[in-house]
């Protein structure tokens, strides 16, 4: 049986759609804006081609850089910073959705220092966002010295793959497994799932950090939390037993690709019906589908991971790259 | 048990469901919007000219269910208007619930707000239809009645943009060509200038926005003819529309309104400012499409190549009907092709010879004629309807047109087709 994989653009229908990809016939969604003659999209919303024409056959205004005030900076151990920054309430609201991320850099550094960072927490009442950063390379090391202001560009949304199942989930049973810096996006997802009255089990692994840094952000009365080293045999056993004994409607894995693969195997074996959502680990560099650094092969098509959503089973089925 | 899956719940899909069910199948209709009948929700015009003959033929063949419902909710019968005789006008605000009720009572499953997006196909046999939520509906035989209108990108590229018609693509998502997904190239209609597609042929005014005199006349006679101011007569526009039976001079020089619950305006679109210059229409507003002053939906961009049995060429278990099956105009034409496809779906599954209607009746002749013509360059620019233009001329020439029910009954009896669609095959 042949089956077409349905790709969706996370930005479709947003304030940023149509984007520059439309101008070059590379739109992820619209067949006309891929240079074809007739409609064949699966986008359910106001027509992107129509928006493009109304906009004078140009991309809508792209996301712009702005300087945000640092409200708080906390360094934990020798490899973790948490920044709290003041932004407009609208900007914070746009970042409340699971998988949101922004680009940040030192104001005094050139544009190519911009690095994508997941939103851990967004407060649209106060107008504040929190991000956690693992210090690894040149881009993140250059963030250490920032004190008062930081350059921000956003909002971006494609930080997790398989988001469709997550966004519509209500009154269901969820397993969240997050390790290291992926604890940060897990917080944003947790809070979203709690708002929708889901029952959550959270397995936290501090990874290479000195502590799990998210305690302040989770309501332990609503979430069953387990701290474990998920790489160890014991950790794997805990995950397997939880999956075996609970009827999970959805499982989220935050961490490396090998972690995603391992959990996928457990799910296939023990609970194949469970929807699977994962952090998007591709190397995102511009976030706009332009630079190509996040390209990945799904099925027979190369997609831009910074914008493209799909059912995650296709990623594992067909093998990536 | 034969499971028949029908994609598209318009007139053609509903008709196919009725005859497939009568022949003994388990039937499910997949419809992307929240209403059956599709464009039939803003239609209303039945039994004008040769459509009368076709309607009677369907009743005699045992597939009169939907025709009878239309007759029952007709606000006006025997209406004459320029170029047309003995029309019936069904009430668009009553028709859909009645058809839905009838189908449900027959035991037909209806999946509304369910959009087909792809097919599972292997060796030219369709296994299932993939839905928008990635689930699959499996079946033995499939009937595609997705029509050929829209979606928005096509209405923009080949028309004047989305004008918000009853199909409501932004809400329910775009139409998908199932035969195309199964690997069979669509056939496209052309206008006289060679460009693709054609505008839908009528728009509807809100009746309450018209003058009391017009409303009164519509209620009494079903039709009103109002002269267009000389400076606004635009004969060129006639070539844009699909309904060539209305491409008459009278339709350029006059505004013709029919009472279908709405006031059906027999033109593709008409600028509101100009419309309001006409006496009695000073306060007029559009009911469908909402921007009927600007444009109308674009159709005929997605026709499947088929046999005269309605089987799609190149796929073992796919039939088609309605606009998907040819450049047909109108509900009667959709119902006629739907009836045959539904009946043949059961024959197909049982390995029986598929029924081909004889060209000695209008139903069989139009199906064969449209199929012959579609293979010619000139044929891509023509539309086929019992109601007028080249096909009605042909009906008259070949002596197929009659409103005498007895003559038709004798003929169908002689052909041994009486109530054939009423017969249970499994």
Tell if the CB–CB gap between A39 and B153 is shorter than 8 Å: yes
Nearest one of B182, B150, B142 to A4, comparing CA atoms: B182
- The DSSP bridge pattern shows strands A223-227 and A65-76 to be unpaired
Would residue A314 count as lying in a domain? no
Q: What is the helix (H) or strand (E) element at residue A238, kind and residue range?
A: helix A233-245
Those residues of chain A that have pLDDT short of 70 are 1-4, 318-321
User: Given CB atoms, is A237 within the 8 Å cutoff of chain B?
Assistant: no
Cβ contacts of A216 within 8 Å, gap of 6 or more: none
Nearest one of B301, B27, B289 to B174, comparing CA atoms: B301
Report the C-alpha gap between A286 and A113 in whole angstroms.
Answer: 11
Per-domain boundaries in chain B? 3-192+299-422, 198-288
CATH number, domain containing residue A249: 3.40.50.80
CB contact at 8 A, B210 and B203: no
Would residue A42 count as lying in a domain? yes
- pLDDT, mean over chain B: 94
* Chosen from A18, A30, A37, A49 to mutate, greatest number of chain B CBs within 10 A: A49
User: Given CB atoms, is B150 within the 8 Å cutoff of chain A?
Assistant: yes
Q: Please write the tens of the pLDDT for every residue from A186-236.
A: 999 999 999 999 999 999 999 999 999 999 999 888 899 999 999 999 999
Q: Which two tokens stand for residue A166?
A: 């997550």
User: Given CB atoms, is B130 within the 8 Å cutoff of chain A?
Assistant: yes
Q: What is the pLDDT of residue B57?
A: 98
User: Minimal Cα–Cα distance from B309 to chain A, Å?
Assistant: 27
Of A3, A31, A45, which is closest to B153 when you measure between CB atoms?
A: A31
Report the C-alpha gap between B43 and A180 in whole angstroms.
Answer: 61
Q: Do A244 and A255 fall within a single domain?
A: yes
Q: What is the pLDDT of residue A3?
A: 59
With bands split at pLDDT 50, 70 and 90, how would you rate the model's confidence at B345?
Answer: very high
Q: Do A15 and A70 fall within a single domain?
A: no
Report the C-alpha gap between B266 and A235 in whole angstroms.
Answer: 72
Q: Spell out which residues of chain A touch residue B132, defining contact as CB-CB under 8 Å.
A: 42, 44
What domain range is A134 assigned to? 65-156
CB contact at 8 A, A8 and A308: yes
Would residue A315 count as lying in a domain? no
Please provide the size of chain B in residues.
426
User: Minimal Cα–Cα distance from B369 to chain A, Å?
Assistant: 27
Q: Which residues of B296-320 are buried (b: 16+ CB within 10 A; e: fewer)?
A: bbbbbbbbbbbebbbbbeebebbbb
| For residue B256, pLDDT beyond 60 | yes
Rounded to an integer, the average pLDDT of B411-422 is: 97
Q: Do A217 and A177 fall within a single domain?
A: yes
Q: What is the pLDDT of residue A2?
A: 47
Report the C-alpha gap between B9 and B14 in whole angstroms.
Answer: 6
Rounded to an integer, the average pLDDT of B357-368 is: 98
Report the C-alpha gap between A243 and B260 in whole angstroms.
Answer: 59
DSSP result, B135-193 = -EEE-SEEEE---S---HHHHHHHSSS----TT-HHHH-----HHHHTT-PPB--B-TT
* Chosen from A13, A40, A53, A275 to mutate, greatest number of chain B CBs within 10 A: A40
| For residue B239, pLDDT beyond 80 | no
- Domain count within chain A: 3
| For residue B350, pLDDT beyond 70 | yes
End-to-end CA distance of chain B: 8
Q: Please write the tens of the pLDDT for every residue from B268-295.
A: 999 999 999 999 999 999 999 999 999 9
Would residue A221 count as lying in a domain? yes
- pLDDT, mean over chain A: 93
User: Minimal Cα–Cα distance from A61 to chain B, Å?
Assistant: 22
Helix (H, G, I), strand (E, B) or coil at B16: helix
Cβ neighbours, 10 Å, residue B399 = 9
User: Minimal Cα–Cα distance from A1 to chain B, Å?
Assistant: 5
Chain B, residues 277-306, CB within 8 A of chain A, namely: 301-302
User: Given CB atoms, is B174 within the 8 Å cutoff of chain A?
Assistant: yes
**A48, closest residue in chain B (CA to CA):** B153
Q: Do A119 and A223 fall within a single domain?
A: no
Q: Do A57 and A95 fall within a single domain?
A: no
| For residue B43, pLDDT beyond 60 | yes
Where does residue B322 fall: left (phi above 0), alpha (psi -120 to 50 degrees), or beta otherwise?
left
Alpha helices, DSSP H only, in B48-90? 50-61, 65-72
Q: What is the pLDDT of residue B241?
A: 62
Q: What is the helix (H) or strand (E) element at residue B120, kind and residue range?
A: strand B116-122
Rounded to an integer, the average pLDDT of B303-325 is: 97
Q: Which two tokens stand for residue B152?
A: 């928005």
With bands split at pLDDT 50, 70 and 90, how would you rate the model's confidence at B195?
Answer: confident
Report the C-alpha gap between B42 and B296 in whole angstroms.
Answer: 13
Where does residue A157 fall: left (phi above 0), alpha (psi -120 to 50 degrees), or beta otherwise?
alpha
- Percent of the residues in chain B that have a pLDDT greater than 70, as a whole number: 97
Of A30, A45, A311, which is closest to B170 when you measure between CB atoms?
A: A45
Going B334 to B149 to B93 to B84, the CA torsion angle's sign is negative
Chain B, residues 101-120, CB within 8 A of chain A, namely: 115, 117-118, 120
- Percent of the residues in chain B that have a pLDDT greater than 90, as a whole number: 88
Q: Spell out which residues of chain B touch residue A52, defining contact as CB-CB under 8 Å.
A: none
Q: Please write the tens of the pLDDT for every residue from A133-155.
A: 999 999 999 999 999 999 999 99
With bands split at pLDDT 50, 70 and 90, how would you rate the model's confidence at B238?
Answer: low
Tell if the CB–CB gap between A47 and B156 is shorter than 8 Å: yes
Q: Spell out which residues of chain B touch residue A4, defining contact as CB-CB under 8 Å.
A: 117-118, 130, 181
Q: Which two tokens stand for residue B1?
A: 């048990």
Cβ contacts of A209 within 8 Å, gap of 6 or more: A76, A77, A79, A80, A134, A180, A181
**Alpha-carbon distance values, A155 to A120, A162, A254, A284, B423 (Å):** 13, 19, 20, 14, 62
CB contact at 8 A, A174 and A98: no
Q: What is the pLDDT of residue A1?
A: 40
Q: What is the helix (H) or strand (E) element at residue A104, kind and residue range?
A: strand A101-105
Tell if the CB–CB gap between A50 and B172 is shorter than 8 Å: no
CATH of B3-192+299-422, picked from 3.50.50.60, 2.70.70.10, 3.90.1150.10, 1.10.510.10, is 3.50.50.60
Q: Please write the tens of the pLDDT for every residue from B68-82.
A: 999 999 999 999 999
A275 class by beta-carbon count within 10 Å (0-12 exposed, 13-18 middle, 19+ buried): buried
CA B8 to the chain's CA centroid? 12
Tell if the CB–CB gap between A39 and B152 is shorter than 8 Å: yes
Q: What is the pLDDT of residue B348?
A: 98
Q: What is the pLDDT of residue B132?
A: 87
CATH number, domain containing residue A112: 2.40.30.10
User: Given CB atoms, is B84 within the 8 Å cutoff of chain A?
Assistant: no
| For residue B244, pLDDT beyond 80 | no
CB contact at 8 A, B179 and B304: yes
- The DSSP bridge pattern shows strands B318-320 and B141-144 to be parallel
CB contact at 8 A, A30 and A45: no
């Amino acid at each position: 049986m042949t089956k077409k994989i349905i790709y969706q653009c996370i930005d479709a229908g947003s304030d940023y759609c149509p984007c520059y990809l439309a101008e070059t016939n590379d739109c992820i969604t619209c067949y006309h804006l891929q240079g074809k003659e007739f409609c064949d999209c699966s986008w359910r919303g106001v027509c992107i081609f129509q928006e493009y024409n109304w906009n004078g056959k140009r991309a809508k205004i792209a996301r712009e850089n702005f300087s945000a005030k640092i409200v708080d900076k906390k360094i934990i151990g020798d490899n973790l910073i948490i920044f709290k920054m003041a932004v407009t309430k609208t900007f914070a609201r746009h970042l409340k959705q699971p998988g949101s991320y922004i680009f940040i850099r030192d104001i005094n550094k050139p544009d190519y220092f911009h690095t994508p960072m997941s939103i851990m927490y967004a407060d649209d009442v106060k107008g504040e966002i929190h991000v956690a950063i693992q210090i690894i390379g040149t881009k993140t090391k250059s963030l250490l010295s920032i004190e008062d202001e930081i350059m921000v560009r956003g909002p971006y949304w494609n930080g997790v793959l398989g988001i469709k199942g997550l966004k519509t989930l209500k009154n269901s049973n969820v397993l969240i497994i997050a390790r290291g810096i992926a604890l940060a996006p897990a917080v944003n997802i947790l809070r979203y799932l709690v708002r929708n009255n889901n029952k959550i089990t959270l397995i936290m692994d501090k990874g290479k950090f000195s502590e799990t840094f998210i305690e302040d952000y989770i309501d332990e009365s609503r979430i069953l939390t387990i701290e474990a080293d998920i790489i160890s045999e014991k950790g794997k056993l805990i995950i397997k037993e939880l999956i075996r004994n609970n009827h999970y409607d959805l499982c989220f894995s935050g961490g490396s690709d090998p972690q995603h693969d391992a959990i996928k195997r457990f799910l296939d074996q023990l609970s194949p019906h469970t929807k699977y959502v994962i952090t998007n680990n591709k190397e995102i560099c511009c976030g706009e589908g332009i630079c190509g650094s996040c390209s990945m092969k799904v099925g027979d098509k190369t997609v831009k991971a910074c914008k493209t959503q799909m059912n995650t089973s296709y990623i594992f089925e067909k093998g990536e790259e | 048990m034969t499971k028949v899956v029908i994609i598209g719940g318009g007139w053609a899909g509903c008709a196919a469901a009725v005859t497939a069910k009568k022949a003994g199948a388990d039937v499910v209709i997949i419809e992307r919007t929240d209403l059956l009948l599709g464009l039939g929700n803003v239609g209303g015009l039945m039994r004008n000219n040769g459509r009368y003959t076709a309607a009677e033929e369907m009743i005699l063949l045992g597939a009169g269910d939907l025709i009878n419902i239309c007759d029952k909710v007709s606000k006006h019968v025997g209406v004459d208007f320029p170029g047309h005789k003995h029309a019936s006008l069904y009430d668009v605000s009553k028709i859909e619930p009645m058809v839905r009720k009838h189908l449900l009572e027959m035991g037909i499953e209806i999946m509304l707000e369910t959009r087909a997006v792809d097919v599972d196909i292997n060796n030219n046999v369709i296994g299932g239809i993939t839905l928008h939520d990635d689930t699959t509906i499996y079946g033995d035989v499939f009937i595609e009645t997705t029509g050929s209108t829209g979606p928005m990108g096509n209405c923009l590229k080949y028309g004047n943009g989305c004008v918000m018609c009853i199909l409501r693509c932004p809400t329910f998502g775009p139409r998908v060509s199932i035969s195309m997904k199964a690997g069979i190239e669509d056939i496209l209609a052309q206008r006289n200038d060679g460009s693709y597609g054609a505008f839908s042929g009528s728009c509807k005014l809100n009746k309450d926005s018209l003058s009391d005199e017009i409303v009164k006349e519509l209620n009494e006679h079903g039709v009103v003819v109002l002269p267009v101011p000389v400076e606004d007569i635009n004969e060129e526009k006639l070539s844009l529309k699909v309904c060539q039976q209305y491409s008459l001079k009278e339709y350029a020089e006059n505004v013709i309104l029919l009472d279908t619950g709405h006031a059906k305006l027999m033109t593709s679109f008409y600028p509101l400012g100009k419309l309001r210059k006409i006496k009695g229409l000073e306060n007029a507003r559009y009911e469908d499409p909402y921007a009927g002053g600007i444009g109308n939906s674009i159709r005929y961009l997605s026709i499947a190549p088929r046999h005269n049995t309605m089987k799609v060429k190149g796929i073992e278990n796919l039939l088609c009907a309605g606009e998907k099956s040819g450049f047909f105009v109108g509900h009667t034409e959709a119902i006629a092709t739907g009836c045959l496809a539904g009946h043949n779906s059961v024959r197909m599954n049982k390995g029986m010879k598929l029924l081909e209607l004889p060209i000695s009746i209008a139903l069989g002749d139009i199906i064969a004629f449209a199929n012959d013509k579609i293979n010619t360059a000139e044929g891509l620019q023509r539309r086929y309807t019992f109601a007028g233009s080249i096909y009605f001329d042909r009906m008259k020439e070949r002596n197929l047109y009659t409103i005498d029910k007895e003559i038709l009954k004798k003929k169908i009896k002689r052909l041994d087709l009486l109530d054939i669609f009423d017969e249970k095959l499994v």
